Chains A and B, each alone.
Chain A
Amino acid sequence: MRISSNTVFDSNVASMTQAQSRLLQTQQQITTGRKILTAADDPVAAARALDLSQSDAINTQFTSNRDTARHNLSLTESTLDGVTTLLQNVKTAAVTAGNGSLTVADRTSIATELSGRLQELLALANSTDGVGNYLFAGFQSRTQPFVDTPGGMGYFGDDGQRMIQVNSSRQMPSGNTGAEVFMRIKNGNGTFLTQATATNTGTGIVSAGSVTDSALLKADHSYSLTFSVGPDAPGGPDLTKYVVRDTTPPAVPPGTQVLPDPLLPPPPAPAVLGVPYVSGQAISFDGMQFDIEGVPANGDTFTVVPSTNESVFKTISDMISMLQAVPSGASVTNGLNRAMNHLDNALNNVLTVRASLGVRLNELDALQAEGDNLGLQFKQSLSLLQDVDYNKAISDLTMQQTALQAAQQTFSKVSGLSLFNYI
């Protein structure tokens, strides 16, 4: 084939330019460490790499979210550790106070100690995270949650739980609200509350009782248990009997109007009629069971009402005022029993919250491990997509270098060939 002299130059220059641009591309890959220099180098991988880096960034974000959650949970946990110790101390004080041999002065000093404890508890409940945010105020982190008001300890926080996104699908509560920890504690045994009426003169001491058959329970019903002491027949021996009455007003059927009754309402039907009393023997009705020990006097009344919420502050302050005011006797024992019972409930409640904190902290560790694994995977995939394989790149570079050198050398030889050299 006939070759134009210019073609010799042109095609050599073109192929050298090409070789040079390839060499430059490889060289850039090596210096940047990236296989994909622009999206055009591998559009699919470039788009995928963007998606992966976002996933990786989000995963990293979750790690820092988890750190925040862990910090908050640990802070709550250590505060509640203090609360647990404090409640145990209060319990010890209550046990001491129950000792019949204590003098009035002894009890007053216990009351004083308890007042100190109450202030301590208030301080713990109003703990902050170190930058002024209250731990137990719900969403209202800048509002002091617990304030002593004339009507008792008031809670000024709310039920809000701050959730933290700890992985793509899990939002974890990063704390617990004050209402949950200190306020919403059921009194009595959790279902009902037994109480001795303050005017009782006998020595009857009522136990907290328990539920024997939840199917028989009548929700929201209150009862009274009244003792009568007297002979069955005139001149007979004094017997102690008790009557249980359901004092709940009858429910009004929806849609009916209750007319005011000029007469007294009919007395509630007794649930258990005149039953002989044996100290310590189980008294059971409507699925509930408790016992009364000691010697009740005639007319002594005990009430059974549905459990309501009672704050731990109220439990302790009630105990303090009782110790300060009331001389020893059955009412103190009843009161202390009740307080002990409530303290147990409060302690249980705190321990339950601590258990859930622990579970969450454990879960965080598991999620952390999972997140680390995921991060590793993302980084590996990203690296596969966009990082240069140095072995291959350097071998490519050497090859391209050799090719360019060869092209340059042959060019100088070929272009030197001319007939004009010989004429």
Chain B
Amino acid sequence: MAGNIFTSALSGMNAAQVALTTTQHNISNANTPGFTRQEAMTSARPGVQFGGGFIGQGVDVVGVKRMYDQFLSTQVLQEQAQSSYLSSYHTALKQIDNLIADPAAGAAPAMRDFFSAVNGVANSPESIPARQTMLSNAQYAVNRFQAIDRRLTDIANGLTDQVTASVSQVNNYAKQIAALNGNIKRAMGSGGGQVPNDLMDQRDQLVTMLNKEVKATTLQQPDGTLNVLIGSGQTLVIDEQSMPLQVVRSALDPSKVDVAYNINNTTVVLQQSSIQGGNLGAYLTFRDQSLEPMRNELGRVALGMAMSVNQQNQSGLDLRGKLGGNIFHAATPRVEVGGFNQGTAVISATIADLGALTTSDYQLKVNGVDNYTLVRLSDNTVTNITSKLPQTIDGFTINLASGTATSGDSFLIRPTANAARDISVLTSDPSAIAAAAPMRGIAGTINPVSGALVSANTGSGTIGSGQVNMSPVTIKFSDPALPPQTYTVTDSSGAAAPVTGNYVAGNPIGYNGWTVNISGAPGANDVFNVVRNINSTTSAQMSASPAVTNVGTGTISPPSAAVTWTTPFTVTFNATAQTYTVTGAVPDVSATPIPYTPGSPIKLSYNGWTTQITGTPANGDVFNFVPNKSATGDNRNALQLAALQTTSIFSNGTTSLQAAYSQLVGNVGAKTNELAVTSEAQLNMVNESIKQQQSFSGVNLDEEAANLLRFQRAYEAAAKALQISNNMFDAVLALGR
């Protein structure tokens, strides 16, 4: 009987000791990350039947359990991945947000200063200091664009490092998890199914850390191992094996890196969409969906400023009386050759129309000879090109510069990506600013050599200030079934009345300083467009193209020559016949007197110059339009330069330079704001679920203190029982004395 008490008391002391040790373990690990509190599990030994009933035999320690809740832990993992994704994204985007909207650092004040200086030139076009200020402010604006772009590049380079670091971190965790899988498997085997709690905690902690880098899902295996999957089911850890990720240079865009994995010695690139959550997901999403689009948007503003100012400057005369040149260097679109391309094709692109230009990147896939697919990457709009390049889509022209493309090749075209980086001021000569208009009108006969007025007109006709006219022109054909087939040349600006003529294949058709040859058989209502080539560097090159909807076989030649705005022409009035004759125009129209209505304005557009004559010219009155030489005080072109500040040059004439920049600031601000709000909310969610999880698994020191006391008392009580049992034994022995 006493022996029974002995063993029972001893088991109690044992159990209390194990419980004390577990409590002590909990207290020691109270601050260990990922530690789950443990509890010693005890159960009563089955009793021995003894006459009147079963007598207890003491207590057995059956194991040490960790207080782990799969559901709560999974929730923490998920929230954690999302939270680190949002906060990393937010942190990254904040760098840009701070940069672009800053009143001192953004590009907006620099553009404002530039245009303010242009106004200064318009106010005193002969002033060299005013012109110098304009150039200096142009340099300032260029510096701002370049600095912001450089900052974006720095951030992008930093991102590449971060992606590399993040991937090696992921690989590191994967390796440790795989190793722990092995340890746990063996421990469970040798421990007879007992769970090695602390190893499990360590592995769970590693999975938590992994989730901060990239969102991972886990599958618990019966042998205690854990399979880890990332993205859309890509295995990272299976049993004791980890499959490391790699960082590779992107095949589509060599300036970027992609995440890939190796399967059977083949490198498979993970889509950005399949790497979700965590820091890695945040870095890639930020780069592809925020940073590069912002670079494009900024580039579009820079490109818009450069090209529109250049065009306007080309349309005027500089202080030396020469046609203006380019003030800014405008970058050509960036074309990246796909890494797996087989063909020899060199694709180039040029900007054709600022109004149609988007901020998206484009992927050009080759399907065969003269067969391409162009994907606008911002919204995945697909355009099929089934005719010979060059083709103009979304405001840029794709050319096949050389070589041949092989089916399956791909090219990445980034129309505006280089613009902010490459914008520069091309001239340091203040005289090069073309403040004057290229032509001036003189109401009267002039000395052909000196240009001085010989005799003034007697009529009341006066000449408007006039301007360069480079508006798009359409040539539209009538139905060939109703001969004679005619064509109508219409100026979209309405600067002159439409000109019609009978179509003779191959005969030149001209207007406003250029001629084209149309041959073949144009169909009814076929249209040919002649527009200014905005990439020409000196005077205006026109480019001609048939409309895509044409049904006939008519082809159009490139326009004859550049339009020279300084080609003089003369308008002579015959008031009796109410006609006027124009001499010196390109193409020559002097043979045909043109009727007019006295008293109503007479619109003229010749040699790229448009103006109107109002009032009533007298018989024989002559209006001479001559190169505006030595017009140091003329500011007409400078006024137009200044007006570019508020001209809506983008989005088909709805968005000005400033509005496009504001849009960029608004977009960045809105996204940053959204991320600030969601990442804070997500952080609260994480904290809440951690609280829930900790509430179950965390160590409460008060509880442990109480447990210490409790198990101490239990130990003392069991020891007392042993003492009593000993006393009882002594009493039995004393009976014999």
Contacts and interface: CB of A to CB of B under 8 A. Distances in A.
A156 B454 CA distance: 10
A188 to B, nearest CB: 12
Contacts, number: 215
B119 A38 contact: no
A314 interface: no
B577 A39 contact: no
A383 to B, nearest CB: 14
B569 interface: no
A24 interface: no
A134 B658 CA distance: 37
B97 A40 contact: yes
Given A5-B700, A139-B634, A165 B119 contact: yes
Interface in A1-45: 1-7, 10-11, 14, 36, 38-44
B705 A423 contact: yes
A7 B695 contact: yes
Given A39-B100, A142-B126, A179-B456, A161 B698 contact: no
Interface in B111-127: 112, 115-116, 119, 122-127
Interface stretch (B329-337, B349-357, B435-443): B435-443
Contacts of B140: none
B666 A43 contact: yes
B266 interface: no
Interface string A147-166: 00000001110111111110
B694 interface: yes
Interface in A151-194: 154-156, 158-165, 168, 171, 179, 183-184
Contacts of B171: none
B6 interface: no
B633 A162 contact: yes
B669 interface: yes
Contact of B631 (A64, A140, A417): A140
Nearest to A62: B119
Contacts of A368: none
Nearest to B103: A53
B699 A5 contact: yes
Q: Which of A43, A48, A133 has the most CB of B within 10 A?
A: A43
B632 A142 contact: yes
Interface in A272-307: 306
Nearest to A4: B698
Given A6-B30, A140-B633, A418-B701, A220 B709 contact: no
A142 B630 contact: yes
A138 B102 CA distance: 44
A125 to B, nearest CB: 15
Interface in B674-733: 676, 683, 687, 690-691, 694-703, 705-706, 708-709
A47 B665 contact: yes
Contacts of B699: 4-6
A309 interface: yes
A160 B441 CA distance: 8
A214 interface: no
Interface residues of A, number: 69
A51 interface: yes
Contact of B666 (A46, A138, A155, A171): A46
Contact of A10 (B636, B672, B690): B690
Contacts of B619: 219-220
Interface in B546-594: 574-577
A162 to B, nearest CB: 5
Given A7-B695, A38-B672, A39-B97, A159 B442 contact: yes
Given A47-B669, A54-B658, A139-B440, A184 B456 contact: yes
Contacts of A38: 94, 97-98, 101-102, 669, 672
A212 interface: no
B148 interface: no
A143 B101 CA distance: 47
A68 B632 contact: no
Contact of A1 (B443, B462, B666, B695): B695
A308 interface: yes
Interface in A77-117: none
B208 to A, nearest CB: 15
Contact of A51 (B662, B672, B701): B662
A254 B576 contact: yes
A356 B155 CA distance: 60
Contacts of B402: none
A57 interface: yes
Contacts of A406: none
A395 interface: no
Contacts of B381: none
Given A50-B665, A54-B112, A159 B701 contact: no
B412 interface: no
Given A5-B698, A50-B661, A184-B456, A163 B465 contact: yes
Nearest to B626: A158
Contacts of B94: 38, 40
Q: Which of B463, B632, B659 has the most CB of A within 10 A?
A: B632
Contacts of B672: 38-40, 43
Given A133-B126, A419-B706, A4 B695 contact: yes
Given A43-B673, A54-B112, A423-B709, A7 B465 contact: no
A388 to B, nearest CB: 15
Contacts of B456: 179, 183-184, 309
A159 B669 contact: no
Contacts of A10: 687, 690
A315 to B, nearest CB: 15
Contact of A39 (B31, B665, B700): B665
B55 interface: no
A53 B104 CA distance: 13
Contacts of A179: 453, 456
Given A61-B116, A179-B453, A7 B694 contact: yes
A397 B661 CA distance: 33
A65 interface: yes
Contacts of A2: 695-696, 700, 703
A65 B574 contact: no
Contact of A164 (B31, B122, B696): B122
A53 B100 CA distance: 15
B618 interface: yes
Contacts of A139: 436, 440, 628, 631-634
B630 A39 contact: no
A41 B673 contact: yes
Contacts of A418: 701-702, 705
Contacts of B436: 139
B691 to A, nearest CB: 5
Contacts of B636: 160, 163
Interface string A59-80: 0010011001000000000000
Nearest to A71: B123
A54 B108 contact: yes
Contacts of B443: 159
Q: Which of B463, B639, B663, B700 has the most CB of A within 10 A?
A: B700
A264 interface: no
B258 to A, nearest CB: 29
A34 B624 CA distance: 58
7 contacts: A4-B698, A39-B97, A43-B665, A140-B633, A141-B632, A219-B619, A308-B458
Going nearest first, the 4 A-B pairs with the smallest beta carbon separation are A4-B698, A39-B669, A141-B633, A43-B669
Interface of A: 1-7, 10-11, 14, 36, 38-44, 46-48, 50-51, 53-54, 57-58, 61, 64-65, 68, 131, 133-134, 137-143, 154-156, 158-165, 168, 171, 179, 183-184, 219-220, 251, 254, 306, 308-309, 417-420, 423
Given A40-B676, A47-B662, A419-B701, 11 more contacts: A4-B698, A40-B669, A47-B666, A54-B658, A57-B116, A61-B119, A65-B123, A143-B630, A158-B442, A219-B575, A254-B576
